[in-house]
Amino acid sequence: MMSFEGKTVIITGASRGIGYETAKLFYAAGARVYLTARTESNLNKLSKDLGGNAIAEVCDVGVLGELERVTKKVLQDTGRIDILINNAGTIDPISNIHLTSPKAWSDAIDTNLKGVFYGVHAVLPTMINQKSGCIINLGSGAAYNPLEGWSHYCASKAGVAMLTKSLQLELKNQGIRVMSLSPGTVATEMQIKIKASGVNPISKLDVSAHVPAIWPAKTLLWMCNPDSEKYIDQEVSLRDPTVLKHVGLC
């Protein structure tokens, strides 16, 4: 495992699933980790379990100003931001477009797309000033393939894909790595909701088709070290056997 001693990492959606496993790995690698999520109890438990270098910050990424507040706290504490993992996301509401609540659809866009923008916008001035940093956005195959009942999720992930490309273009040659990870289907609480919905082919997948959350977590750690340099400006996919080999998952 590469050492992240002296590095400061912000992870959104850190109270469960991919974010939870990623936080544990970065902490074990020596980083000072700021954990954000809406669920205070889960967040505080993770922070307490890990110890002093894991700081819980209750935050709704979809609310303007929340990630700005967290970023200011991080800079007060450490004076730098090295890595941002934009992991927070929601699959709610699973519903066909004519039946869905406009408010719930809008809330999903706030979390899945605007939340990514808010995080990037908050950390970029510091990273540009440092001339260093790494931003990783969680992508999805849903960005490229429409799925019944997932119009909010597909639209938001397509937006994240283009936002990532725009960032890569604007930050070229500024010392900041911008990457995205498409983890495929992962055995998290989100898959429980998808299964219960019975909507579209993803809900019909057997549990064995989903990778454990530790797989994308290990991949995110690997993406923040020089070995992944050739994947800058690309979307890293956990369906790629070469990536799995690099990460040590096969």
Alpha carbon of 91 to those of 115, 162, 179: distances in Å? 14, 19, 22
**Tokens matching residue 89:** 């996301």
pLDDT at 94: 97
**pLDDT, tens digit, 9 for 90 and up, residues 218-247:** 999 999 998 899 898 789 999 999 999 999
pLDDT at 154: 98
Helix (H, G, I), strand (E, B) or coil at 193: helix
**pLDDT, tens digit, 9 for 90 and up, residues 38-71:** 988 889 889 998 988 999 999 999 999 999 999 9
pLDDT at 1: 64
User: Which pLDDT band, with edges at 50, 70 and 90, does 214 fall under?
Assistant: very high
CATH code for the part of the protein at 8-247: 3.40.50.720
Q: Does 144 participate in catalysis according to the annotation? A: no
Q: What is the mean pLDDT of the chain?
A: 95
Distance CA 57, CA 222 (A): 25
pLDDT at 216: 98
**pLDDT, tens digit, 9 for 90 and up, residues 143-168:** 999 999 999 999 999 999 999 999 99
DSSP state of 8: E
pLDDT at 208: 87
Mean pLDDT across 91-120: 98
**pLDDT, tens digit, 9 for 90 and up, residues 124-136:** 999 999 999 999 9
CA torsion 239-225-170-155 (nearest 10°) is: 30
User: Which pLDDT band, with edges at 50, 70 and 90, does 250 fall under?
Assistant: confident
Match 């100003």 to its residue by tokens.
65
Residue ranges of domains in the chain: 8-247
Match 């209750």 to its residue by tokens.
58
Q: Is the dihedral of CA 241, 22, 220, 1 positive or negative?
A: negative
Minimum mean pLDDT range among 24-28, 102-106, 222-226, 229-233: 229-233
Distance CA 214, CA 60 (A): 24
Mean pLDDT across 25-37: 97
User: Which pLDDT band, with edges at 50, 70 and 90, does 207 fall under?
Assistant: confident
Nearest Cα neighbor of 124 from 163, 171, 172, 180 is 171
Catalytic residue among 20, 34, 153, 231: 153
Find out whether 181 and 223 touch, Cβ atoms under 8 Å. yes
> For residue 192, what are the contacts with CB-CB under 8 A and spacing of at least 6?
none
Nearest Cα neighbor of 82 from 183, 221, 213 is 221
